[in-house]
Each structure stands twice: as structure tokens, then as C-alpha cells.
Amino acid sequence: MDRGMILFVGVLLTFTSSWLGLVLFPFWQLQNQPTFQAEPEDEPYPRPLQGAAWTGMKVYQKNGCMYCHSQQVRSERFGNWWEDPTGIMRTGGDIRRGWGYRRNVSRDYIHDNPTMLGTMRTGPDLANIGNRYSAAWQHIHTYNPRAINSWSIMPSFAFLYRKERIVGARSEKALPLGREWTVRPGYRWRPSPQEWQTILQRYGDQIKERFLLEVGPPTFDWNQPDGQNLLLDYWLTTPEEGWQILPTDEAEALVAYLLSLRKAEYPLPEAKE
Amino acid sequence: MAVSVLTRDQLRWQAAQERVTIDRSCRGPVLAFCATALFWLLVGSLLALVASIKLHSPYFLTGSPTWTFGRVRMAHLQAVALGWSSLAAMAACLWLMCRLARVELVYPRMLYLACALWNIATTLAVIGILLGDGTSVEWLDAPTYSHPFFVAGVGLVTAWVVATFRRRREQHVYVTQWYILAAVFWFPWLYTVATLMIFWAPATGVIQPIVNWWFNHNFLGLWVTPIGVGIAYYIIPKILGRPIHSYYLSITGFWTLALFYSWAGMHHLIGGPIPAWLATASTVGSMMMFIPVIAVAINHHMTMIGHFHRLKYSPALRFTVFGAIAYTAVSFQGSIESLKDFSEVAHFTHYTVGHAHLGVYGFLAMILFGLYYYMIPRLTGREWYSSQLIRLHFWCSAIGITLYFTALSIGGWWQGRMLNNPNVPFANIVMYVQPYLALRTVAGTIMTIGHIAFTTLFVINIAGWGRHRSSGPTLFSQPPLPVSSPWPSTTNIIGTPSTHL
């Protein structure tokens, strides 16, 4: 193959075949896919992202959430590696987990730009997450996932929240978290034994008073080291005095985006199985 | 060319002189590409460690948006794929094209410019991502303002490679040259189409991931694989002094790679919201890849047969053969992974990450290391300072990637099985993979130590502190030598593609 022209033409043709097959044909097939309306008076599905949800999508994009979370629910017929209690091999793990009511199809993504399908499930699939958790849950989970799931390896996004002094009353939007999550935002705080002793010396009476008020008479002796540990466990769940954690605009936007993710819900004719 | 009446030794002397002239002309630009590539390998290794640690110790470097996992992961990929792999691959293209065309490198300033442009692009990519401009498009995570620099950089390299090829003195076009010419033609086209259809004139919905995975898979299959395979096709016969086993197998391997590899990309979207025919077409393409991979494997193996003992001595050969074997393994694995039953389990898991690294590290990086060990002394005139450091580099890389691949394959496979079983709570899956992810950090640390050893050797060589090349190559150990010759005879010139190579 000593002639450059043969090389060039061959390399051009083989490449063009894949460009035609994997790029151009799908483009022609899918580019002008319309929205779906069951009845003429229905809202067309899907709807493009609005307002805060669109900004939230940008937050999702720039922080690389897609690299742990997919957004594609797989078919009922997909996956045949589990046995149900009667010993029959079953399919459709994604849907059985509650990750969607149906599989996702191309129409679900026509307004997505970028289309973040994702190829990793270090964390769960999020195509239909808007259906599963409330805004309050999402805020706490985004701030520090281990406040909800101790086993989670998701990063803390505490930098999307600000810790502020309370002026007047605590804000309604403040995250309802105990001080173990707020003293060092993003981390879980526990004072060292010496620090705890110092705290007990200064505030021990107030802490015990509050304990009596909120929980009742203690079932342990809080003058012993073991009891003091239990008291510490309780104290860590109480809110930090004078401070609150508030979501920034980015956090509000991100949660709005997550709530808007209901891609595997609306029944589409082509998604029926 | 005039008929030569010189003796064989005089011919060899002439050929060697020609090579010296060529190498001297290549020195500046190729070393620029090599040095900057190595810089990005270090940066990428550190970013990799940060990302890996975060996955089993989520409080590591928590608190700033710059170091959040998603951004570090994007930055890592850009540093090692666009930084290290591509720059080293371009160095290979330049030097090998000069050597095989038997022509000196001209207009070096154009190539310094290309190197600078590509490095600016990579810097913009890595820093831009960490500062929040990442695109969350796999392999194209770099912010859009880096695109023009990438295009300009590779455009210059492509133009230069083609121009050099056209100026060739050597009539015969060796297989490595086919791969290089193909790669520098394919990559700019891939990059332009993909960035156009995803960023500049975005296509609707799932067309974006379709185009994206066409690009990503072809980044591997039509950019770095041809160059890696091309390097192996050069290094192995060069060091052994024997011709490649079969010319016709190399033709088969080349054209079937060109045809089938480019169709395989949709196997990354099996089960996804894409038309069924697309996934099937890619599974077919992926399975057909057995043909070129087996062709190349036979070619390399049959060339090596009877000479495997040389792996004891030559660093360049050892790294290259390791890479070539890894290429066969990862390609077979990839073909199997594209089958629906397999993909049902392995997709979305760490298994895929293990496979990817066997490819880009076990295959590509090891072959690039092999090329460096062979090429750099010929450019600088200095041999490697310490065979102990080379040994450290090799074993760190080999053990590292083996541990990496094993840990993530086992962990990832069971992760996939559990993902498919809705009775397994997600918490159990996360907790199950933790130890494997920790093992991956261990593996990555070992690999990084190897990279530091390698960089040390490179810096020593560039700084001129190694001994002169004329005293013979740095080997792992001395092979048994005949008294007269300083190096095992590479006299089987008849049968190599050209008597002057």
C-alpha cells in the first residue's frame, strides 16, 4: 500500500460509513421528534425546563453530577439476573426499584441540552427523582448526604449553602439539622473528649435542662463517662444556637431542577411494553 | 536512487548517519511534545488520586467547589486523555513519520506552535473545569473556549504529518505510517463533527449522547489505538531486528480496524433510550473487532516467537509487549462487553472503568512508555541514567494496572448483579464496592510512584546527565554478548521493510 491516494480514499470511505450510520441516520431519524399530546387540549410532553430549574440544570452540569448518576430508566425486559422469591428469573430491575414507572425513550429528552444520560451508577438513577423526594429532603441530602444515609459516598455540597447568624427568628428555609452537621459545614462534627468536658463545664446545666424538657428523665447516669457520651449524642442533634444553614440561589435552583426530573412518568405510546 | 556498490557495513553506517540527521532535526519539537505530555501525566495522576480517594473517603477535600468529585473527575480525564495521551501520541506521529519516510523534520516552528496551542487548550480545559465551566459531556468535558485551540493544534500536526509523508524519500509505506496517516486524518474530523453537533449547533435530545459516544469510542479506536498499534509495529521489529511476521495480516488488520471500530461506539448506550437498530449495529461492529485484533495479535506474537527472552533485557520492548498483550486482552473483553447479556450486568458499574483503564493505561500508556524509552536517547544522545529506576517504573505500572483492573472488575461485576436485583437495597451496593474502590486508590498510588520515577529519568536525560548513547543502551540486565559486538547483532537487515531502516 505504497500509494497515499489508496490510503486516503480507503480511510475516508470507512470513516464516512460510520459517520453516515451512527451520526447522520440517527440525526435524520430523531432530530425533529415532536412533543406528545394525548388530547389536543393537553399540555405537550415533555416541557422544557423553566426558570430556576434551568439554572439548576447548569449547576448539575458544572459540578459533574452526571458522572455518578445516570438519567435513563431501562426496559422492563432488561436485565435477567435476579430471582424473585418463587425462584423465577425476573427482568426490569430499574423499574422494580421504583426508579421509574416505565422505561425512558428518546422523546423524554428532546428539550435537554446537554442531554446528560450518564454512564455510571455510583449513585441511583435520577431520571424520575422528582417523584421520589421532597424539596426539604433534597436540600438536606445535597448539603451533606450522610445526614440522611450514613453509608453514602456522595460528596457534600455544603458550598452551595451558607451558614449565617440568626437575626430575629430562624428562617423558614433553614435546614433542620443538628449541630453535628452545621458546626463544620460539609463535615460531621464531634467534639473531642476534652472539648466535650469543657462544653459540659460551661453549658452542662442548660444541656441537661433541655434534655429533660425534650426527652424526659434520663435512663442513664449522665455524671458517668458512658452517660456523658449519650448526652453528647443527644446534644449533637440539637440545632446550633444562633446559626442557621440557608440554601444559596444555586442550591434552590439545583433542587428545583431535581424536582423537575420526572422523565419516566408520563405515559407515552412508544414506551409501552 | 543510484545502485550502491558499498559493503553491507558501509550501507549500515550510511543508514545510521541518516537516522542521526533525522533524529537531530526532530529533537526540539518532539521533545517539547514529550515533556509537556509527561507534565500532564503527573497532573492527571494527582487528579486521579484525589478523585479515587473521594469515592471511599467522601470527606477528603470537602468544602470547596473546585475540588468536588465531579469536577476533579472531568479534569482528570482531560489531563490524561487530551493532555498526556494525545501529546505523546502526536510526538509518536512526528518522530515515526520522519523515521519511516526517511526525511528530516522541517518548519519546526509550526510544531512548537502546535504544541503550545494544544497545551493552552489542555490548561484551559483542566483549570476551566475546576473553576466551574465543565460541560458534563464525557471526554468533551472541556469548556467550549478551549475548542479552537485543540482544533488548531491538531490541525497543524495533521497538516505537517501529511506534508512530511508527501516529501518522503522511502518509497515503501510501512504499516505504522498507514496508522499514523489514518489517525491524524480521523481525529480532527471526529472532533469537529462532535463539538459542532453537541455544542455549537446542538442536536436534539439523545442525538447528543449518540454523537458523543461515536466521538468517544472513536477517540479510542481511531486516534490513540492506531497510534499505539503503529508504535508497537515499529518498536517490536526494530528492537528484535526481525521483520513483522506477515504483511498481509497487517493489511487485514488495518482495514478491518478502519471499518469496524468506527461502528462500535453505541455499545456505550445499550439499554438506553436510543433506536434499537443503533445498539445492534454497534454490537455487530464490536464483535467484528475480533478480526483486526486477532490479526495484529498474531502478527506481533509470531514476530516475538523465539525472542521472548529479550524481554529480560530491553525496557522499550518490555513495555511495548506488555501494551500489545493488554491491547489484545482489552479488545477481546470489549467485544464481549458489547453483548447484551454482558452489558446488562457491567453497564453503569465500575467494571467499565476497569476496562477503560486497561485500555488507556495497560495498552496505550505502556506502549507510549516503551516508545519514550526507545526514542528519547536517540533524540538527546543520552542514555537512561538508572536501570533500577526503569525497573521501578515498569513494576509499579504493571502491578498497579493489574491491581486496578482486577479490583474494579470483581467489584464492578457484583455491583452490576446487585443493581439488577431490586431486592438488594442501594445502600448494600454502595457499601459492597467500598473496599474495591480503596484497592483502586492503592493501585493508583503505585502507578503514580512509577510515573514519578519515569519523570525523574526523563528530567535527568533532558538535562544531559545521563551517559552518552554510544556506550550502549540502558538495559535491565546485560544479555550474554559475543566479545566483539557491543549489542546483540541486529544484522538481519534483509527482510525488514527497507534496508535503510
Interval B231-259: pLDDT, tens: 999 999 999 999 999 999 999 999 999 99
Residue keyed to cell 444556637: A241
* Alpha helices for B241-365 (secondary structure H): 247-260, 276-288, 290-304, 315-337, 340-346, 350-357
Choose from A119, A181, A266 for mutation: most chain B CBs within 10 A: A119
Question: Which pLDDT value is given to residue B491?
Answer: 43
How is residue A36 annotated by DSSP? B
pLDDT in tens, B324-349: 999 999 999 999 999 998 999 999 99
CA–CA dist B239, A94 (Å, integer): 53
Contacts of A105 in chain B (CB under 8 A): 273
Q: Do A93 and B419 touch (CB under 8 A)?
A: yes
Long-range CB contact pairs, B305-310, < 8 A, 24+: B307/B240, B307/B242, B310/B239, B310/B240, B310/B479
Residues from chain B that touch A98, judged by Cβ atoms under 8 A, are 422
Residue B11 cell numbers, joined: 550501507
Mean pLDDT over the full length of chain A: 93
Does residue B437 surpass a pLDDT of 90?
yes
pLDDT > 70? residue A38: yes
Domains of chain A (ranges; CATH) run 51-162+250-271 (1.10.760.10), 180-238 (no CATH)
Contact between chains at A4 and B181 (C-beta distance less than 8 A): yes
Q: What pLDDT is recorded for position B488?
A: 46
Evaluate if residue B158 carries a pLDDT over 70.
Answer: yes
Judge: A157–B222 Cβ closer than 8 Å, yes or no: no
- Asked if residue B386 has pLDDT above 80, the reply is yes
- The average confidence (pLDDT) of chain B is 93
The answer to whether B79 touches B47, Cβ cutoff 8 Å, is: yes
pTM of model > 0.90: yes
Alpha helices by DSSP H, listed for chain A, are 4-18, 25-30, 51-62, 93-96, 135-143, 179-182, 193-214, 225-236, 249-260
CB contact under 8 A, A2 and B255: no
Judged by a CB distance cut-off of 8 A, whether residue B204 touches chain A is yes
Contacts of A151 (CB under 8 A, 6+ apart): B427, B430, B431
**8 Å CB contact between A267 and A102:** yes
CB proximity B171 to A under 8 Å: yes
Closest partner residue to B431 among A93, A106, A151, by Cβ? A151
Q: Taking CB atoms and an 8 Å limit, are B69 and A93 in contact across chains?
A: no
| Beta bridge mates, A245 | A163
Q: Which of B 218-277 lie inside 8 A of A, CB atoms?
A: 218, 222, 251, 255, 258-259, 262-263, 265-266, 268-269, 271-275
In angstroms, the separation between the Cα of residue A204 and the nearest Cα of chain B is 30
Instruction: Please report residues of B whose CB lies closer than 8 A to that of A114.
Output: 135-137, 198, 202, 208
C-beta atoms of A27 and B197 within 8 A: yes
Of A98, A119, A185, the CB nearest to B348: A119
Among the partner-chain residues A15, A29, A151, the one whose CB lies closest to the CB of B189 is: A15
Q: For residue B461, give the amino acid letter.
A: N
**Model pLDDT for residues B45-74, shown as the tens digit of each residue:** 999 999 999 999 999 999 899 999 999 999
SS3 A246: strand
pLDDT band of residue A184 (cuts 50, 70, 90) is: very high
Alpha-carbon distance B396 to B408, whole Å? 18
Q: What is the CB neighbour count within 10 angstroms for residue B106?
A: 13
- All three cell numbers of B290: 475480533
- Measured in angstroms, the CA of A219 and the nearest CA of chain B are apart by 32
* Chain A contact probe: residue of B204, B256, B284 with most A CBs at under 10 A: B204
Across the interface, whether the CB atoms of A159 and B65 are under 8 A apart is answered: yes
Percent of chain B with pLDDT over 90: 89
Q: For the segment A2-28, what is each residue's pLDDT rounded down to a tens digit?
A: 788 899 999 999 999 999 999 999 999
pLDDT of the residue at B4? 58
pLDDT reported for residue A81: 63
* B62 with A78: Cβ contact below 8 A: no
Note the pLDDT of residue B471. 81
Chain B 435-494, residues with CB within 8 Å of chain A CB atoms = none
- Closest-CA distance, A31 to chain B, in angstroms, reads 5
Rounded Cα distance between B37 and B88, Å, is: 6
Nearest CA in chain B to A85: B423
Residue A273: pLDDT band by 50, 70, 90 thresholds? confident
Q: How far is B187 from chain A (nearest CA, A)?
A: 11
Quick one: average pLDDT of B118-143? 97
A267, pLDDT greater than 80: yes
Quote the pLDDT of residue B197.
95
* Chain A hits for B434, Cβ within 8 Å: 153
Q: Kindly report, residue by residue over A220-251, the tens digit of the pLDDT.
A: 998 898 999 999 999 999 999 999 999 999 99
Could you tell me the domains of chain B? 17-471 (1.20.210.10)
Which of B166, B281, B430 is nearest residue A153 as measured by Cβ atoms? Answer: B430
Predicted pLDDT at A4 = 83
pLDDT at residue B358, as a whole number: 98
Q: Rounded to the nearest 5 degrees, what angle is found at the Cα of B360, between the Cα atoms of B23 and B339? A: 140
Residue B482: the pLDDT is: 56
**Nearest CB neighbour to A26, from listed B172, B207, B352:** B207
Give the gap in angstroms from C-alpha B411 to the nearest C-alpha of chain A: 12
Report CB contact under 8 Å: B259, A32.
no
B5 — pLDDT class (breaks 50, 70, 90): confident
Mean pLDDT of B221-239: 97
Task: Enumerate residues 6+ apart whose C-beta is below 8 A from B103.
Answer: B22, B164, B167, B168, B169, B170
Beta bridge partner(s), residue A36:
A45
Cα B46 from Cα B362, distance rounded (Å)? 18
pLDDT of res. A87: 74
Confidence class of residue A83 from pLDDT cuts 50, 70 and 90?
low
pLDDT at A82 > cutoff 80: no
Question: Are B259 and A119 a contacting pair at CB < 8 A?
Answer: no
Mean pLDDT of B456-481: 88
C-alpha cell at A44: 405537550
Query: Is the Cβ–Cβ distance between B229 and B327 less than 8 Å?
Result: yes
Per-residue pLDDT, B445: 98
* A62: nearest CB among B134, B274, B350: B134
Choosing among B190, B259, B348, B415, which should be mutated to test the A contact, i.e. which has the most A CBs within 10 A? Answer: B348
A3 contacts on B by Cβ (under 8 Å): 173
Q: How is residue B203 annotated by DSSP?
A: P
How far apart are the CA of A91 and the nearest CA of chain B, in angstroms? Answer: 8
Interatomic CA distance for residues B467 and B476, integer angstroms: 16
Q: Which three cell numbers stand for residue B169?
A: 524519500
Q: Give the pLDDT of residue A91.
A: 86
Answer whether B258 sits within 8 Å of A11, measured CB to CB.
yes
Interface test with B, best of A6, A8, A11 (most B CBs within 10 A): A11
In tens, the pLDDT along B178-200 reads 999 999 999 999 999 999 999 99
Contact A65 B269 (CB under 8 A): no
Report pLDDT for A79.
Answer: 76
